[in-house]
Amino acid sequence: MWKTIGSRSTSARGRRTASAALAAALALSVLGGPVAVADEPVYKSWNGTAIRGYDPVAYFTEGRPVKGDSDFEYQWRGATWKLSSAENLALFRENPERYIPAYGGYCAWAVAKGDLVKSDPEAWKIVDDRLYLNYSRKVQEEWEKDIPGYIVKAEANWPRLAAKN
């Protein structure tokens, strides 16, 4: 199911991967956090809904996943974002970048491994004020074994993966 990417430190590809990881780590430390890719792709369900219809703001305000309501929808980055209340809709409209999940809602662990894979809104974690989703709770357990390391790898992989999508 998951593609494993081997690394050979003596290959040019290995050196480029190490350089990209170092650049991502420097960006994280110098800029104070992950850098978004302009027009980055958003993982959408078949009907164009982001995060399978869950409210991205609720993760921050309620500390849990909450299903959005079709009465509070917002179109942004080619996806329909569903919010659970007028208040959350207003917050999202004001600053969507603050609330969207990292990597457009794709599985953070898979991005770290070099793949774009769907995510489960119930497998989530907020790290340094950024929402991360994973494919499943089982995958999330693996991701939680080295969150900082996986974030550095994902940040290095994301520009290439975002450009392919």
The DSSP string of 28-92 is HHHHSS--PPTT----B-TTSBBGGGB-TTHHHHTSS--B-EEEEEEEETTEEEEESSHHHHHHH
**Shared-domain flag, residues 50 and 130:** no
Is residue 1, in this structure, part of any structural domain at all?
Answer: no
**Shared-domain flag, residues 33 and 105:** yes
Q: How far apart (Å, rounded) are the C-alpha atoms in residues 135 and 106? A: 8
For 38-47, write each residue's pLDDT tens digit. 567 999 999 9
Q: Is the pLDDT of residue 34 over 70?
A: no
Q: Is the pLDDT of residue 150 over 90?
A: yes
**Shared-domain flag, residues 108 and 31:** yes
pLDDT of 30: 41
Is residue 114, in this structure, part of any structural domain at all?
Answer: yes
pLDDT of 40: 79
Is residue 78, in this structure, part of any structural domain at all?
Answer: yes
Name the pTM for this structure: 0.77
pLDDT of 165: 74
CB neighbours of residue 164 within 10 Å: 8
Domain count, the chain: 2
Tokens matching residue 115 = 């793949």
Q: How far apart (Å, rounded) are the C-alpha atoms in residues 14 and 150? A: 17
**Shared-domain flag, residues 112 and 148:** yes
What is the extent of the structural domain holding 65? Answer: 44-100
CB neighbours of residue 111 within 10 Å: 26
Tokens matching residue 123 = 């497998």
| Mean pLDDT of the region 55-75 | 97
| Mean pLDDT of the region 86-112 | 97
